Structure 1
């Protein structure tokens, strides 16, 4: 249980449990309540945690794909490559990148002037739903959301895809006795 794979799985399970805990309680309240709006302050907290934990999860999945790549494609050097210090730095990088992205987007989004009351009329707080409530031009917010989505979502996706392509090609190159 002290291998890098289990270390990263522990981080991933913590992120997943926290992600569900940040959204589900508010949704349960909405299913039981007559008024379906979210108070503005609750929306800030929910948006920060959901954006942060979602970003952490994507980066962590890319880190886990790199771990599997190192284990399959370079098994003799695996323990040297994936030492405890590197694993800790990769996990910290995942947590910091997701949290910083979330902090930036939450701060930028909630500085917008909102035309309506201080309740968000949704069962969960989404960044685009909040941006659309603004009275001012939100094109810069939408561009920053798109750029961070590309960086924080598509980059890990491409890294995961690339690592599994390399793993598959390594497996296909293994000589079989049959």
Structure 2
């Protein structure tokens, strides 16, 4: 019932437009600041390894710390590029309503990554907004570029095929 409301109601689509523009602005400005002022992820990554999230004296996310230590820290330069670019593009996608569901998904991935690394900030609220946007699917981007982009992509992907995926005969 709630899924149908999220996915089909025009009033919900309007409300989600406001939510995604707000969330998009939050992401885009964070990314833009890092892109224009320079950003070095090395300090953050090293700090996340040195001060991991602990619960009752037990490492809460040992797999995440291992990933940071063995891959992210040695490749801090790559992350210094991917983080601001990802933040900016997610924000732009949400603001424009273009590939909205994918933008919400990647926003949540980044939020969870930041939380696993020990940063709380606005991440839980951002994740909650992202869940509603992603659950709404097309309806969240209905009043945005998804109205035009998704039918075009669908046509491009299913060119010469019926909706069931089988080839159409002429």
Q: TM-score, normalised by structure 1?
A: 0.29
Q: Look at both structures and tell me which one has the larger radius of gyration over its CA atoms.
A: 1
Q: TM-score, normalised by structure 2?
A: 0.30
